[in-house]
């Protein structure tokens, strides 16, 4: 038996028939594609080859008042994964991701150098710091899978701050790493870092709980926004308007050519009122004095009394906002958050503390304006005062003792008027003027609170920085709601010397001082002077903005100013060491007690004499004859204002006016608060 094989002709026939059928199938498929639903397939093909790529707008930069660059943009390389271009097979994709991480963690050595050191997700590659956002390939794969569900072309960033040489090396390996790409993105460079960190701020990813808000404003998920300082306040001004490019890509996602493009519109830039060199000098002066005093924190502000422009604002401790420029290491960020002295906090506008005797400027002005006292009213200050208990007025054992700072040294101020009371910072005088005593009526809490708010205490100034605190000016109603207690005369006494429940920021103190100096105009403090476009043309200039005029006559303010002059040049002035050659300074010291457990032993800190620790304050303006600038100095736990804050102010004012900082007067023999 044998199998009958087809003849040659039959085989040729079958071959031709097969070819015809294959040709018909191809033609049918082409017809189906082109005639059945050509638009849909055209769109699919176009989507596979054409991409709309965002073209980020250059963010506006920042200058100081002399047009010195403070903040600019620089390119940063980052490694990304495009989910759509990774193999769908998990094993193949993981192999690519593992190889990419291996190249990032142990790259070929470009030059002789140390072994790569890895700590957490921050890697040091031959002296250059790089941030890895994922520790293993599986974590990247899980993120890729999430993105494939709704945003297959949205990049997943796996490394930032990649050194240029390593970025070029990875780019060379791209043919063997489908789905992986290297991209240069702009990041902020803060040229002075810690010196201006609290002012210019920093940027970061859009917070998850705010994403919908920013999406509605046209932001992409991978964009960063200003999170602090001027970066946050002027986000809409600085960001500009993104453009886009329509490009053709190959199967690996690499660009082949550009079809069309819409250039971005650069963001506007900011010109600040801050003087960089002055800021540098002020920071150095404050830092040195904090170290000498063993104080952990402090602030200095210089304000132009004629406009409200902030010329310098220093807050210590500080931080380097360049740490945030390309994504801060979690361990470093946690260290900033856990630091007990809060370096992220701008002490100048967000720190709230009892203002101490600097608040007496308000009390003096209010008492004169209300007619509670006249310039010639004299009050006997014996160093201590016993306030009778209103329920047991005839029982001396129920009376409450209030003392003046000079009582610690066994002294008293005697019979003094308001100018002299400001000169020597007499607590007894202001207790009586504020809360009354025996037949002397005093201002009372409500009137005192009214004038304090008129001077800007207890309210936001509106400075163009986020995070400003309004402080606290207490009232009888506030105390009832907060403590369920009635207001007492003793509360008014404490309030009259800037203690008790009163809390203020250094900005509020200097702004009130500026209003006293300029004749009663409370300006809104300003940090930004101009907004300019990319060519330097002025888009907007910020004119001085008046919050209000103080309800105090210039005659009464002149009496207050005279008291501030005596504080520096009077025979018993508490700020005698503030005097400068050729420049007449008028000021007011302050020493404010506070209760705290700074050593962590669970008890309120007190010194050997049983006294609470104190913050040191000093506020002043100069020149006295023609006021130009106001200053406030605050030193946390710095002791007496006359001893710690006054020398700082003297050196800062000397730097501003360009005169010798050597003190021309000795401290008052009585000392000072």
> Does the structure show a pLDDT above 70 at 582?
yes
List of residues 6+ apart from 408 with CB closer than 8 A: 609, 611
> 503-542 pLDDT, tens per residue?
999 999 999 999 999 999 999 999 999 999 999 999 999 9
Show the domain range for 247: 50-272
In 3D, which of 595, 362, 355 has the Cα closest to residue 499? Answer: 355
Q: Say yes or no: 571 and 640 in one domain.
A: yes
Is there a single domain that holds both residue 484 and residue 504?
Answer: yes
When pLDDT is averaged across residues 471-476 and rounded to a whole number, the result is 96
- What DSSP element (H or E) covers 616? strand 614-622
Q: What is the CA radius of gyration of the chain?
A: 35
Residue 281 and residue 268 share a domain: no
What number is the average pLDDT over the span 659-670?
85
pLDDT band at 118 (very low <50, low <70, confident <90, very high): very low
CA distance 431 to 426: 9
Residue 142 and residue 95 share a domain: yes
User: pLDDT value at position 40?
Assistant: 55
Query: What's the CA angle centered on 179, arms 261 and 132, to 5 degrees?
Result: 100
Paired residues of 257 in beta bridges = 248
Express each pLDDT in 369-388 by its tens digit.
999 999 999 999 999 999 99
**Is 661:580 a contact under the CB 8 Å cutoff?**
yes
pLDDT at 279: 98
Query: Which residue has better confidence, 433 or 176?
Result: 433
Domain check: are 589 and 533 in the same one? yes
Among 534-538, 599-603, 653-657, the minimum mean pLDDT is found in 599-603
Coil, helix or strand at residue 313 = strand
Nearest Cα neighbor of 502 from 405, 641, 358 is 358
pLDDT, one tens digit per residue, over 163-189 is: 888 888 888 888 888 889 898 888 899
What pLDDT was estimated at residue 201? 97
Short-list 517, 515, 483, CA closest to 501: 483
Q: What pLDDT is stored for residue 170 in this prediction? A: 87
Q: What's the 3-state SS for 522-590? A: EECCECEEEEECCCCCEEEECCCCEEEECCCCHHHHHHHHHHHHHHHHCCCCCCHHHCECCECCEEEEE
Same domain? For 67 and 84 the reply is yes
Q: Are residues 530 and 447 in the same domain?
A: yes
Residue 398 lies in a domain: yes
Token digits of residue 538: 């002025």
Ramachandran angles phi, psi of 383, nearest 5°: 95, -25
> Is the Cβ–Cβ distance between 239 and 218 less than 8 Å?
no
Q: Looking at the structure, tell me whether residues 423 and 546 fall in a common domain.
A: yes
> Burial of 546 by CB count in 10 Å (0-12 exposed, 13-18 middle, 19+ buried)?
exposed
Cα separation, 314 vs 198, whole angstroms: 8
Comparing C-alpha atoms, which of 664, 506, 511, 497 is closest to residue 585?
664
pLDDT at 467: 95
In eight-state DSSP terms, residue 354 is -
Buried residues in 131-162 as b, exposed as e (16+ CB within 10 A): bbbbeebeebbebbeebeeeeeeebbbbbbbb
Specify the pLDDT at position 337: 93
Q: Would you state the pLDDT for residue 116?
A: 38
Q: 323-365: per-residue pLDDT in tens?
A: 998 778 788 899 999 999 999 999 999 999 999 999 999 999 9
Does some domain include residue 18?
Answer: no
If one counts the domains in the chain, the total is 2
**285 vs 611 pLDDT, higher one:** 285
Rounded Cα distance between 305 and 303, Å, is: 6
Of 21-30, 124-133, 602-611, which gets the smallest average pLDDT? 124-133
Question: Considering the chain, what is the average pLDDT of its residues?
Answer: 88
Of the pLDDT bands very low, low, confident and very high (cuts 50, 70, 90), residue 111 is very low
Residues 477 and 426 in one domain: yes
Residue 302 and residue 242 in one domain? no
Instruction: Report the CATH number at residue 357.
Output: 3.40.710.10
pLDDT tens digits for range 43-100: 555 555 676 777 788 999 999 999 999 999 998 898 988 887 888 888 888 999 998 9
Return the pLDDT at 120: 40
Grade residue 667 by pLDDT with cuts at 50, 70 and 90.
Answer: confident
**H/E segment holding residue 168:** helix 164-172
Per-residue tokens: 90: 């998990």
Domain assignment present for residue 7? The answer is no
Please compute the mean of the pLDDT values over residues 402-428 and round it to a whole number: 95
Which one, of 438, 430, 437, 399, lies nearest residue 413 by Cα?
430
Q: Which of 251, 272, 293 finishes a domain?
A: 272
Residue 653 lies in a domain: yes
> Do the domain assignments include residue 524?
yes
Taking Cα atoms as reference points, which of 117, 54, 57, 107 lies closest to residue 79? 107
pTM, to two decimals: 0.86
Q: Is residue 526 part of a domain?
A: yes
By DSSP bridging, strand 156-162 and strand 128-132 are antiparallel
Q: Which of 97-111, 116-130, 464-478 has the lowest mean pLDDT?
A: 116-130
Q: Is residue 142 part of a domain?
A: yes
195-to-7, 157, 322, 649 alpha-carbon distances in Å? 96, 31, 11, 18
| 502 lies in the same domain as 599 | yes
Q: What is the pLDDT of residue 413?
A: 95
CATH number at residue 107: 3.90.1310.10
Q: What is the mean pLDDT of residues 26-30?
A: 71
User: Would you say residue 127 has pLDDT above 80?
Assistant: no
Q: Is the pLDDT of residue 466 over 70?
A: yes
In a domain, 341, yes or no: no
pLDDT at 124: 54
Identify which of 533, 434, 532 has the alpha carbon closest to the alpha carbon of residue 490: 434
- Closest by CA to 592, choosing from 416, 322, 356, 423, is 356
Predicted confidence at residue 146, as pLDDT, reads 74
616-626 per-position pLDDT tens digit: 999 999 999 99
Residues 247 and 363 in one domain: no
């Amino acid at each position: 038996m044998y199998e009958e094989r087809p003849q040659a002709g039959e085989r040729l026939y079958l071959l031709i028939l097969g070819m015809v059928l294959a040709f018909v199938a191809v033609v049918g498929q082409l017809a189906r594609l082109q005639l059945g639903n050509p638009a849909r397939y055209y769109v699919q093909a176009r989507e596979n080859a054409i991409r709309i790529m965002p073209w980020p707008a250059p963010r506006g930069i920042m200058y100081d008042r002399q047009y010195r660059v403070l903040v600019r943009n620089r390119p940063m390389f980052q490694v990304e994964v495009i989910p759509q271009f990774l193999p769908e097979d998990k094993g193949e994709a993981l192999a690519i991701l593992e190889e990419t991480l291996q190249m990032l963690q142990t790259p070929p050595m470009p030059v002789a150098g140390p072994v790569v050191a890895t700590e957490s997700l921050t890697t040091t590659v031959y002296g250059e710091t790089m941030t890895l956002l994922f520790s293993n390939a599986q974590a990247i794969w899980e993120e890729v899978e999430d993105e494939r569900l709704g945003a297959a072309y949205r990049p997943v960033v796996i490394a930032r701050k990649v050194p240029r040489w390593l970025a070029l090396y990875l780019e060379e390996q791209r043919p063997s790493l489908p789905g992986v790409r290297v991209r240069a993105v702009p990041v902020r460079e803060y040229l002075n870092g810690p010196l201006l960190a609290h002012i210019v701020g920093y940027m970061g990813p859009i917070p998850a709980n705010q994403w919908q808000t920013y999406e509605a404003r046209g932001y992409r998920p991978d964009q960063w926004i200003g999170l602090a300082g001027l970066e946050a306040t002027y986000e809409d001004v600085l960001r500009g308007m993104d453009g886009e490019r329509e490009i053709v890509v190959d199967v690996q996602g690499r660009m082949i050519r550009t079809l069309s493009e819409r250039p971005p519109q650069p963001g506007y830039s900011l010109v600040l009122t801050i003087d960089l060199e002055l800021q540098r000098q002020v920071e150095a002066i404050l830092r040195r004095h904090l170290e000498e005093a063993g104080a952990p924190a402090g602030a200095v502000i210089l304000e132009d009394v004629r406009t409200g422009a902030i010329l310098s604002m220093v807050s210590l401790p500080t931080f380097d906002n360049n740490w945030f420029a390309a994504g801060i290491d979690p361990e470093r960020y946690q260290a900033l958050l856990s630091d007990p002295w809060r370096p992220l906090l701008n002490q100048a506008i967000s720190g709230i503390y009892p203002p101490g005797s600097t608040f007496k400027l308000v009390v003096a002005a209010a008492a004169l304006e209300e007619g509670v006292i006249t310039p010639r009213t004299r009050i006997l200050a014996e160093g201590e005062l016993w306030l009778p208990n209103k329920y047991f007025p005839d029982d001396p054992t129920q009376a409450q003792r209030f003392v003046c700072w000079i009582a610690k040294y066994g002294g008293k101020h005697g019979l003094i008027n308001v100018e002299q009371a400001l000169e020597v910072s007499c607590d007894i005088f202001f207790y009586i003027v504020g809360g009354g005593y025996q037949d002397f009526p005093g201002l009372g809490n409500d009137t005192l609170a009214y004038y304090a708010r008129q001077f800007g205490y207890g309210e936001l100034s509106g400075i163009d920085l986020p995070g400003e605190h309004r402080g606290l000016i207490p009232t009888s109603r506030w105390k009832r709601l907060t403590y369920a207690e009635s207001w007492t005369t003793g509360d008014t006494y404490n309030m009259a010397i800037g203690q008790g429940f009163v809390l203020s920021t250094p900005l509020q103190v200097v702004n009130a001082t500026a209003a006293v100096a300029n004749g009663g105009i409370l300006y809104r403090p300003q940090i930004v002077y101009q907004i300019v476009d990319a060519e330097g043309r002025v888009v907007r200039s910020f004119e001085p903005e008046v919050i209000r005029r103080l309800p105090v006559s210039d005659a009464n303010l002149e009496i207050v100013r005279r008291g501030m002059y005596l504080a520096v040049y009077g025979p018993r002035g508490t700020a005698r060491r503030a005097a400068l050659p050729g420049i007449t300074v008028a000021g007011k010291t302050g020493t404010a007690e506070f209760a705290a457990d700074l050593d962590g032993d669970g008890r309120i800190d007190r010194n050997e004499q049983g006294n609470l620790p104190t913050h040191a304050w000093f506020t002043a303006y100069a020149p006295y004859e023609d006021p130009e600038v106001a200053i406030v100095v605050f030193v946390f736990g710095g002791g007496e204002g006359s001893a710690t804050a006054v020398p700082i102010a003297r050196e800062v004012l000397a730097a501003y006016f360009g005169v010798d900082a050597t003190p021309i007067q000795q401290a008052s023999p009585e000392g000072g608060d």
